[in-house]
Amino acid sequence: EEKTRSSYEQKLAHAQHSVSKKLLETALAKKSNLIASADVTTTQELLALAEKVGPHVIALKTHIDIISDFDYEKTILPLKALAEKHQFLLMEDRKFADIGNTQELQFTSGVFKITDWADFVTSQVIGGFESLDCFKNVGVVAIVGMSSKGALTTASYREEALKVALSHPNVIGGVSQNQIPEELLLFTPGVNLADSGDGKGQQYNTPDHVFKMLHSDFIIVGRGIYKSDDPETAAITYKNEGWNAYVNSLQK
């Protein structure tokens, strides 16, 4: 017998972490489970995208180290203002993958000072339980499984990664292409309505597939939105497709 998935309301009732609560509340308020991945390389493109898609997303995911003209005052301060204006969270997809002390330095220092502005971050769990201790003031999304062809995140790796993720109080969820335990929020990238791959190893599924088959909570869409001629309309399309797929996935 197939188990039905939990709703956002049910997950909210059990949520422990303030960031999990904020994400679930925002999803319910906006009727959106969409995270736009802003993989653009200038401050101007980043802010323009945030302004257009902001009302339709629960979070904007950044790779802040690809912004060629990064400047804390000119990049982060206006980005934070847009997050406040349009009520979305900031997810820095840093994928930390080192020992705790180094991750702590990467998180707090350098030019990006991620700790000062990100609501939540992605991290590998390959460094073990204690490597995640430094992310005290944010939520951590653990990389459990990757979407790219030939990824080394095998079933046995994922099982061990989930043990770390489930036991660490800083972890709010996981990135995966497989179902994960309900206690964790599931963030699924590799979502695109038009393509099945990018010729560079990325593999895509549809929103319908990931909500029904993986019981995903949130979809992460990059090129499907920011490469579109009209990113705002594309964001609305992914938002509606994602929400309908979620609602359908509740009825088994």
Binding-site residues, in ranges, read: 39, 61, 147, 202, 222-223
Considering beta carbons, is residue 209 or 250 the nearer one to ligand 6AU?
A: 209
Q: At what angle do helices 231-250 and 43-53 cross, to 10 degrees?
A: 50
Residues 192-221 that bind ligand 6AU (CB under 6 A): 192, 202, 220-221
Select the span of 65-73, 101-109, 222-230, 237-245 touching ligand 6AU (CB under 6 A). Answer: 222-230
Task: Write the binding mask 90 to 119 for ligand 6AU: x where contact by CB under 6 A, - elsewhere.
Answer: ---x--------------------------
Kindly state whether residue 171 participates in binding ligand 6AU, applying the rule CB under 6 A: no
Written in H, E and C, the secondary structure of 152-220 is: CCCHHHHHHHHHHHHHCCCEEEEECCCCCCCCCEEEECCECCCCCECCCCCECECHHHHHHHCCCCEEE
Q: Which stretch binds ligand 6AU (CB under 6 A): 48-56, 112-120, 186-194, 243-251?
A: 186-194
98 belongs to the catalytic site: yes
Give the residue with the Cβ less far from ligand 6AU, 106 or 192: 192
What Cα–Cα distance (Å) separates residue 126 from each residue in 64, 112, 145, 244? Answer: 22, 23, 12, 35
Q: How far apart are CA 138 and CA 115, in angstroms?
A: 8
Separation of alpha carbons 244 and 83, rounded Å: 25
**13 versus 66: smaller Cβ distance to ligand 6AU:** 66
Which CB atom, from 54 or from 145, has the smaller least distance to ligand 6AU? 145
SS3 (DSSP) at 35: strand
Minimum CB distance to ligand 6AU, residue 141 (Å): 7
Letter for the amino acid at 183? E
- Amino acid making up residue 26: T
Coil, strand, or helix at residue 1? coil
Q: Can residue 189 be called a binding residue for ligand 6AU (CB under 6 A)?
A: yes
Residues that bind ligand 6AU (CB under 6 A): 37, 39, 63, 93, 122, 143, 146-147, 175, 189-190, 192, 202, 220-224
